[in-house]
Structure 1
Amino acid sequence: MEMCLDPQATIGGGLYIAHIGGVHINPQAIIGSNCDIAHRVTIGASAMGRKGAPVLGDRVYIGTGATLVGKIKIGSGAKIAANTLVMSNIPDGATVMGVPGRIIMRAPKPVESPAPPVAETTDAK
């Protein structure tokens, strides 16, 4: 299997490609740091007339056979399941699967700690 990583693509440090083969990355794609891409993955424009290329955040996982097309943004920490077709923006920390890709899990919202109690002041005269 071939691999097509165009030198014009912007790729952050720590990219891991498991089982190199069949990976195609569009020259306009932007890939964040510490991403993990399985084999037979396509990141880029398509023959369906979709313009532009995907922008991936940091720590994105893309499973075997997944395809990301068009000018879309994949949020940091997102997970794309095997054989998923992604054609729309994905928020940070979401897990996506299916054709077309649907969000099946979202990252939990951070729990805000309650404000400390305010001490009452009394003026002693």
Structure 2
Amino acid sequence: MAPEWAHAGIRVNALAPTFVRRELTPTTLSRPEWAAELLSRIPIGRLGEPEDIAEAVTLLLSDAASLITGNTLTIDGRLHHPIISTIPLPQTTLPPGAQGVLRLVLASLCQATSVIRYV
């Protein structure tokens, strides 16, 4: 999208955050082995906070980023992404095959959220 909109002064960038501490995070991290595995794969050693994402958005929307377009800013403490396929999912009453779908959903959460800025 960035090349198509650059002529109009529109910058297109994306954010790819790690797990961010929010209302649902305690549910996600309720299994100690899951939480330990997740944090062991984040060299900075912590989850993201909403302020981490807000600061990145502020940067991308500012004049300081006037030459940045067509990029994905990864905000993940250098998370090693294979975590999605290696952490065992909780045993549930999901129908057969649903855990594969759940893994796909988890993986899609690691995808970028678009940020478009009109300059």
* TM-score band w.r.t. shorter chain: under 0.3
- TM-score, with structure 1 as normaliser: 0.21
Larger RCO of the pair (alpha carbons < 8 Å, separation 6+): 2
Query: Is the radius of gyration larger for structure 1 or structure 2?
Result: 1
Question: Larger helix proportion, structure 1 or 2?
Answer: 2
- TM-score, with structure 2 as normaliser: 0.21
Question: Larger strand proportion, structure 1 or 2?
Answer: 1
